[in-house]
Chains A and B, each alone.
Chain A
Amino acid sequence: GEDVEQSLFLSVREGDSSVINCTYTDSSSTYLYWYKQEPGAGLQLLTYIFSNMDMKQDQRLTVLLNKKDKHLSLRIADTQTGDSAIYFCAERLPSGNTPLVFGKGTRLSVIA
């Protein structure tokens, strides 16, 4: 299957950590991605993780991958109001240069 599932909404207080979760069904996925969409804009690649890794850290962002459970998460430390956006999880299947399979996106609202 090629479904990527995400919860639709998340609300956090400024300064707290945000954790956005994603599950995917295709265990043969090679790369997994997090994209950010700010209001009125297109999607921007935030970070990616290769399937042989279980963690990747990039400044305030931490990506955790649990291949056994097909679970991907994005943790944003010290969440700021500028982090308010829609976050999309996406997977790349191994069969050639196929397009990414995107989840429906999680809308993160940061309360000051």
Chain B
Amino acid sequence: DAGVIQSPRHEVTEMGQEVTLRCKPISGHDYLFWYRQTMMRGLELLIYFNNNVPIDDSGMPEDRFSAKMPNASFSTLKIQPSEPRDSAVYFCASSRDSQILTQGQYFGPGTRLTVL
């Protein structure tokens, strides 16, 4: 299995531009999570989906952030417009319901976003 795939791995953009981060979860996993990691705040859960349905988006910082999961194998996290304070590493993770207890969540390699 290829694991959780994220693209791009690095993104540098200018303030005000739209940014789209992509994630392909592990096949057969029905939970998908988006996290943001910064030195100041550590690892923050932004939103998670179960069977493509958003369950909790209370961690999404503000309306500039949106996430979608149109099917079981693809999710996007969009920031529009982007701001320098959005600079962080964004992780996608997935898990299978029946194995969630003993195997936790599988993380992708992350997308390092820099907003100038």
Could you tell me which A residues sit within 8 Å of B by CB distance? 30-31, 33, 35, 40-45, 48, 88, 90, 92, 97, 99-100, 102-105
Given A31-B101, A42-B109, A44-B107, check contact A88 B31 (CB 8 Å).
Answer: no
Q: Nearest chain-A residue to B104 (Cβ)?
A: A45
Q: Which one, A30, A41, A45, A92, contacts B109 given CB within 8 A? A: A41
Residue pair A42, B107 in contact (C-beta under 8 Å): yes
Residue pair B104, A99 in contact (C-beta under 8 Å): no
Residues of chain A within 8 A (CB-CB) of B4 are 42
Q: How far is the CA of A49 from the CA of B54 in the complex (A)?
A: 29
Residues of chain A within 8 A (CB-CB) of B91 are 42-43
Is B25 an interface residue, CB under 8 A from the partner?
no
Q: Chain A nearest CB: distance from B86 CB in Å?
A: 19
Residues of chain A within 8 A (CB-CB) of B105 are 43, 45, 99-100
Beyond A44-B107, A48-B104, 13 extra complex contacts between A and B, CB < 8 Å:
A31-B101, A35-B107, A42-B93, A45-B103, A45-B106, A88-B43, A92-B101, A97-B31, A97-B100, A99-B33, A99-B48, A102-B42, A105-B43
